[in-house]
Structure 1
Amino acid sequence: MAELTPMLKQYQAIKEKHQNELLFFRLGDFYELFGEDAKEASRILNIVLTARHKGTAHETPMCGIPYHALNNYLSKLIKAGKRVAICEQLSDPTLPGIVKREVIRVITPGTTLDEAGLNDKNNNYIVSLVCHKNYWGLAVADLTTGEFKMMETGDQDILKSELFRLSPAEVIIPTILANEEKNQKFFQTLRNVNTYNLSAFDDPYRILTTHFQTKNLQSFGVENLRLGIEAAGILLAYLKETQKTDLKHISKVLRYTSGTYMVLDEATIRNLELFNTSFTGEYRGSLLSVLDKTLTNLGGRMLRRWLLLPLLNEDEINYRQEAVKEFLSQSNVASDVREQIKNIADLERLIGRIGCNKANPRDLVGLRMSLENIPRIKNILTGCTSKRLQNVSTELGDHKILTEYLNQSILDEPSALLSDGGIIKDGYNEQLDELRQISKGGKDWLLNYQAQEIERTKINTLKVRFNRIFGYYIEITNSNLNQVPEDYTRKQTLVNGERFTTPELKEYEEKILGAEERIIKLEQQIFVEVLEKVTQHFVEIQKAADAVAELDVLLNFAQIAGEYNYVCPEINSNGVIDIKNGRHPVIERFISEPYVPNDLELNHEKNEFILLTGPNMSGKSSFLRQAALISLLMQMGSFVPAEKANLCVVDRIFTRVGASDNLSQGVSTFMAEMQEAANILNNATRDSLIILDELGRGTSTYDGVSIAWSIIEYIHNHLGAKTLFATHYHELTEVIAKLERTENYCVAVSENDGRVVFLHKILKGASSESYGIEVARLAGLPEELIDRAKEILLSLEKKIAIKAPNQALQGSLPLQLNSKEQAVVRKIGELNIDELTPLEALQKMAELKEKL
């Protein structure tokens, strides 16, 4: 068998180290993929699959892409969850021998910097998990912004909620954890889980202290988080190994706990439709789609974080609200700040690119121009009195030294590519200025030389030109070839003429091209030095980025408060939720008719638990959700959609809404309901807000009533949490009448000529009818069906046998029963259902089932 070529041997040696990645192997102007990598990439990228050494023993599948189109293809592979290793040529391919090649970075879903694959207003998080005796350490980073945090928890439900909130693009776990049977189902719910292990000589604590250049981690407040440190050390090592850089933009690690913010679990984020609608999964129609009028990507990402991390500290909430109030009252200040922050680039991702050695010259211009806006913003904020705006003004910082340095070093309009030159200003580097003078002088000489040769040869059309293949040459048309001097050496023959050179032209060519080549190399060297200087300012730039983001979000809150007629809620510490004419923040933006507002009062004295009855489409669910959303908005620091609001801080918002299967995990509708209910009952406190919408519909009526009844009693007697419970089960109004701190409420209905109009107004008292048939009519069911339903309902209400419709119309035969079944039917007919309690009904059903 023939031996492999040196190039393929080199490829195989590198591929051996990157078996889990698609290896992009640089060959000239292309990246090539071989073997199984080529098959997979060609399928995902829809590019042609060919073969190398076709028809030989070493025939190998192959595909390739142009090197300049790399980013376009990378985004498709990353979206498909693939890992890509970029192998570059590191030596001059024109020299003898095989070209030196190395993997310069590994790109994964959690480490991509490609703008085409990133959402501007979403973080791209990567998470590292470790576990010891059911206690978890979690570290999270966003490579694109430098964010780096850690936490620990012994509660897997908290862990799951945190992972759902973060929605990481990639999760890193040690192999030993990946192999544990008990966590297999949990890991299957996560995206792009990869294993990564430190070597026996690597210590997570030392990895962190070495990176941050500190003796310990006390200054970050994480010194005692053993599992958090382990997760963070693994994650930082993984990021450095894949990026092959120092990652200086990761300048700190923060500790955070679930007790700092309100925890929003998966069910609540989904049921309140914070980011996507439940029905279509679309962004439009979500709470964020209504709230987000931010002007910068920085602000957009911070708004999303604030939405997922509502505050628990009253003072912090008040600080935000005071800032919003000041922007509302000082409209000229708000307008001026808004005009300035519109001109600020995405500073976080910009320094992320610098930290990962992916910045281009124009990034530095964007950085300079953005930082030059900071003094103007600070000047506008000078007269502000709210504590938060004063703090933000301070945090914006002073960047005069850096902006002056960038102004001196980088051209105002540099080339986009480093390889093109044209980056550094004249006067910044003496050696560069000298080379440019040589180059410029040489070009002047060429113009003079052309004039000299025209005079000498008397060929007026003679041109001295240049291209990258043939260098400098003299071009003469065919009609003038008889006038060419003897010292001209033919270089190339064309259809319409010929190209020549001379000893004198060749000498100057070498001088000019040598200078230009040295100019580009020197500019590249200086650019790297400038980047290094910028990294020394990362901490203050990141602080400024945070301050700009906060300004953007506070301005955003002020804008929507003004446009949407929101009010500043008062905050109480008495456990009271008192809303006058509250509105649903999303629905009111998407309906043509005026939204019907409603009052709500919840407290621990008489209105701790509200049971809301009424038909579908009457507004029950909207009322429940708007109560939760108003509380959520308040704890973000926003104003709220109401005429007036006095709200307490809630520690959690729990929601159990509608009926849904989780078939992928083998969970039925009823089981899903019960699991969500169990989560609420196990984790809610007296300071929580519970929203229950149609609990118990996933089973039989009596089972559902019984379970809902007992849950009402449990919440009332054991939890004491403020609760809104919407139901179709009118039987539940009886239990409310027996409990102390509960009230029955219903949705107002108007009846006219047998037709029902839902008024969407919430009133005290219980609903006596369900109006299900009217809902069916509104839904557009055929009139014949509606009439038949009314006939059946009337028969049921009169407790007489339902008269079957015309046999031909029905199209089916009467059901034939055996003797046992007939006996059970007789027993059912003898029952007086109105006198049975839910428990007695369940017992009777069990007895009858035994007879069958």
Structure 2
Amino acid sequence: MSRPPTSRPWTGHSTSRPYTGQSRPPTGRPQTAASTKHEATYVVAILEGRGIGREVGIAALDRETGRVNLVQLADCPTYVKTLHQMHIHRPCLVLVPDTFISVLDTTLAPSGKHPNSTSLLVQCILEEFECVPVEPVLRKYWSDSAGLEFINQLCVEDDERAATLVTVSNKYYALSAASALFKHAEVKLNTRFAAASLRIRYLQTEGTMMIDPETARNLELVGNMTSKRSSHSLFGILNHTYTAMAARLLRVTLLSPVTVQTAIDARLDVVEELVQTEERFHEVKDALKTMHNLDFDKLISSLVSSEARDFNTAKMAAARVSQMLNLRSIVKNMPLLARALTGSRSQLLQIIQDMISDERLEKIEQLVSSSLNDQSVLQKGGLGAVNARVYAVKANHNRLLDVARETYKENVGDIFTLNSALSEEHGLPLTLVYQDSGFVFTLKKSDLEGELPSGFVNVSAKKGKWVFSSVELKKRNARMKDALDESLILSDRIIQDLVADIVVDIGALYKASEAVALLDMLWSFAHASILRPEFTGTLAIKSGRHPILEGVQSAGTLVPNDVYCCESSCFQIVQGKSTYLRQIGLLAIMAMSGCFIPAEYGSFRIHDSLLTRLSNDDDMEKSLSTFANEMASSAMILGLATRDSLILIDELGRGTSPGEGIGISHAIAEQLIRLHSYVFFATHFNELVMTLSRQPSVVNLHLSVQKTRHSSTNFGMAFQYRIVDGAAEALEHYGLDLARLADLPEDVIAEARRVSDKLTELEARKHEDSKSNKIAIRRKALLRLKTQLTQAMDHSTLPDEELIAYIARFQKEMTRVLQETL
């Protein structure tokens, strides 16, 4: 689709695009990049209301698994929340009303009335997912009543059906999007679903943490920024799953961690039990291994879907027979997994065991076993795979099928007889190999002297062998193929009758799929476990390590760091280490996902969103300057931030002059301080340390540096890569020492040092004498005392004598501060 030129930040792609000749103002949205590491499978329909509230409805259908999710939310002008949901549901196609497309975009506007400009929402989608096609759907198909009728007809009969119908009944935009989505599936995808066969859910956005796409990209949650194929991401580090469902669940969990503490604790209980009980850990592992490479969701979708326009071919019949053999394998392995969970302590494991022990699964297994041969086992390729499908259905189910299979058997026998006759006639050790087109002869090149005898056709060489056929073999292949197709089509009729019986209890398969996915993901967490985090409302980490770097660097080389952030120190200025900020964000995501963390101790707060402005490489081809890009990110953060947000900002204001950068950084920081969000603010502006330190909740941190002896190759400092309390020592001016290593003249460096020392001394004297500075110190001390006393009262388990001594230290410290500042 053509799209208008914009002033929006660059998305990380460099492909050129045609323009529509339209223009629009910047969206004020930070740069993002659609994830391409994981294959996109969702068809997403999106509808926006016409009011000023920017109400957006989303309906997403996974083409592979058949799962349908509905979302309706009130978004901001930058559509960050909508794009966040689209990143969770990776789109392969986006559907929008045709009235959202400009009249100039004739390639996308087949008919109807169109506005003079493409809607802002569509433009944002095009920029964010520039490789994903956007297809208009006629406005008449966006009907809330039709959407509710679709959902009422297709939603599976399970415990959540009633709640889903009640919840979506007044979600006009989500229902309208669902109507267009199912109409597109029928007309364009040629897919029709059986009644009461789809798992349709309405997703509440309030129960998960909002992570904007830019944050997900910079923190490398699901993909490495340097290489798409690299596994060095949080997903790559934690993904030890066996099933495709669990890998999908892990990706969604990392992009939108849970914010309900009871749910997080339940997950942590499971991980802890698997870690502490080695026998259970290995029993679950062995049971999950039997399901390796089996995708329950995809299998269920293939069972309940059919072609809207029926094309009954042998190839489709073979696929359905294979699906039924896979289903039998799954339901037969469920009892093994249930036995592995027998006697579990954690409540969530008990719930999972109940879900996979559903008596309806046993009923499905009996239905399948009554129709399929026990000896039929699906194979990967060759004649064995074909025979497994041909003889999958038991004998005597259909006399015509028995006759067709007997004919197929005789034709295959005729082909082997031909092979034996030709081998004897020509004195050559010919062998038969089955391909999609039928049998061919093969012969090792070492077994042939000279040329092949006459009568052989289609000769080719492959891996040290001659591959060829003959006219007679082609004739017998044709007869065999007819009998094979007839056998598969007759088998498919029996399979379809079996599917009709299974669909009645399809809800049990959905429940089992969810249970296995969750268990597999939590087992994966246990595989990578270190220490269980707790949730107390205070962010406190002892010897925390960057989880991705820990998996990349050699053991023992990563320097751990401590973190402490509470109500009295919720705004922390960090000088010198961007990795520290990323580490905090990653550990918080791991903890809220229900995973253990790489640390000696970890206490966390439940955050409703993770918002970041992290430094990244610049490019002249970006449509926004560095500074405008920073301001777009800052506007997004200020618009979405709440008291419960976790905010990470790195080097704000670096894209403009130092004076303006300091002023804007200070103003944004003050706004965040008033919100009482947990903020980690990395900066090299020393002036901010002075201007913001008057705020009671501001804490200064810096990168520890050790002084060393000056030499011709050493400027007298060694970085320790450890964060410590307090502001950095600005008097050192180690930049001048670096300048000396660059061979600047000594007299220039001496004069620069003299001026710098003098200016710094004057500034420090003014700061020490400042009355407001002394007031700020007293306020911070009182706020710190309040927090310490509250924590002691609420959480202390010390004996009375030790508690009195502990409180006495607070009194002594407070007395010292008052004496120095009064």
- TM-score for the superposition, normalised by structure 2: 0.68
What's the counterpart of residue 45 of structure 1? none
1:429 aligns with 2:429: no
**Distance in structure 2 (CA, Å) of the matches to 1:437 and 1:230:** 49
Displacement of 1:440 in angstroms is: 8.8
1:142 aligns with 2:56: no
1:586 aligns with 2:543: no
Q: 1:288 to 1:187 in 2, by over 3 A?
A: closer
- AA aligned to 1:637 is G
What's the counterpart of residue 368 of structure 1? 328
What's the counterpart of residue 223 of structure 1? 169
Render the CA deviation track for 1:14-37: whole Å, top value 9, x for unaligned: xxxxxx9xxxxxxxxxxxxxxxxx
Q: 1:594 to 1:514 in 2, by over 3 A?
A: closer
Displacement of 1:608 in angstroms is: 1.5
What's the counterpart of residue 696 of structure 1? 653
2:135 to 188, 192, 195: 195
1:603 to 559, 566, 588: 566
What's the counterpart of residue 744 of structure 1? 700
**Distance in structure 2 (CA, Å) of the matches to 1:261 and 1:255:** 14
Matches within 5 A, 1:787-802: 787-788=743-744, 792-799=748-755
What's the counterpart of residue 402 of structure 1? 364
2:184 to 223, 227, 238: 238
What's the counterpart of residue 153 of structure 2? 213
**How much identity, in percent, do the aligned residues show?**
24
Q: 1:290 to 1:720 in 2, by over 3 A?
A: same
2:506 to 520, 533, 538: 538
2:96 to 150, 173, 177: 173
What's the counterpart of residue 162 of structure 1? 85
What's the counterpart of residue 95 of structure 1? none
Matches within 5 A, 1:173-322: 173-179=96-102, 180=115, 181=117, 182-183=119-120, 185-189=123-127, 190-191=129-130, 192-198=132-138, 200=140, 203-210=143-150, 212-213=152-153, 219-220=164-165, 221-248=167-194, 251-280=198-227, 283-322=230-269
Displacement of 1:726 in angstroms is: 1.2
**Distance in structure 2 (CA, Å) of the matches to 1:757 and 1:317:** 41
**Distance in structure 2 (CA, Å) of the matches to 1:342 and 1:119:** 28
What's the counterpart of residue 761 of structure 1? 722
- Helix, strand or coil for the counterpart of 2:720? strand
Q: 1:636 to 1:790 in 2, by over 3 A?
A: farther
What's the counterpart of residue 594 of structure 2? 637
Larger Rg: 1
Displacement of 1:793 in angstroms is: 4.6
Mind listing any 5+ residue stretches in structure 1 that lack a counterpart? 1-19, 21-79, 82-117, 451-458, 469-492, 502-508, 615-619, 778-782, 801-828, 838-852
**Distance in structure 1 (CA, Å) of the matches to 2:322 and 2:153:** 30
Mind listing any 5+ residue stretches in structure 2 that lack a counterpart? 2-15, 18-34, 103-114, 156-160, 307-315, 419-424, 435-453, 457-469, 711-715, 768-822
- AA aligned to 1:600 is V
Render the CA deviation track for 1:234-293: whole Å, top value 9, x for unaligned: 111111222323234961321113212111112221222212334555543221121111
- Helix, strand or coil for the counterpart of 1:763? strand
**Distance in structure 1 (CA, Å) of the matches to 2:404 and 2:506:** 32
**Distance in structure 2 (CA, Å) of the matches to 1:500 and 1:161:** 60
1:408/1:425 contact within 8 Å kept: no
Displacement of 1:394 in angstroms is: 1.5
1:694/1:727 contact within 8 Å kept: yes
**Distance in structure 2 (CA, Å) of the matches to 1:444 and 1:760:** 71
What's the counterpart of residue 349 of structure 2? 389
**Distance in structure 1 (CA, Å) of the matches to 2:412 and 2:82:** 69
- AA aligned to 2:214 is A
Displacement of 1:571 in angstroms is: 1.1
Q: 1:204 to 1:193 in 2, by over 3 A?
A: farther
Q: 1:726 to 1:201 in 2, by over 3 A?
A: closer
Q: 1:289 to 1:514 in 2, by over 3 A?
A: closer
1:131 aligns with 2:48: yes
- AA aligned to 2:257 is P
- Helix, strand or coil for the counterpart of 1:738? coil
Render the CA deviation track for 1:521-542: whole Å, top value 9, x for unaligned: 4234323333444444432212
Render the CA deviation track for 1:445-476: whole Å, top value 9, x for unaligned: 999x99xxxxxxxx9x9xxxx9x9xxxxxxxx
- AA aligned to 1:386 is S
1:658/1:693 contact within 8 Å kept: yes
Q: 1:749 to 1:703 in 2, by over 3 A?
A: same
- Helix, strand or coil for the counterpart of 2:91? coil
Displacement of 1:753 in angstroms is: 1.2
My pick for the range that moved more, 166-175 or 397-406, is: 397-406
Q: 1:514 to 1:541 in 2, by over 3 A?
A: closer
1:323/1:554 contact within 8 Å kept: yes
**Distance in structure 1 (CA, Å) of the matches to 2:629 and 2:84:** 16
Displacement of 1:556 in angstroms is: 0.8
2:533/2:602 contact within 8 Å kept: yes
- AA aligned to 1:269 is A
2:527 to 532, 549, 559: 559
- Helix, strand or coil for the counterpart of 1:352? helix
**Distance in structure 2 (CA, Å) of the matches to 1:723 and 1:406:** 57
What's the counterpart of residue 335 of structure 1? 282
**Distance in structure 2 (CA, Å) of the matches to 1:793 and 1:125:** 61
**Distance in structure 1 (CA, Å) of the matches to 2:484 and 2:721:** 76
Displacement of 1:410 in angstroms is: 3.2
Displacement of 1:148 in angstroms is: 0.7
Q: 1:795 to 1:309 in 2, by over 3 A?
A: same
Render the CA deviation track for 1:346-381: whole Å, top value 9, x for unaligned: 111222333445634233222211221111111121
Q: C-alpha root-mean-square deviation of aligned residues, in Å?
A: 4.2
What's the counterpart of residue 689 of structure 2? 733
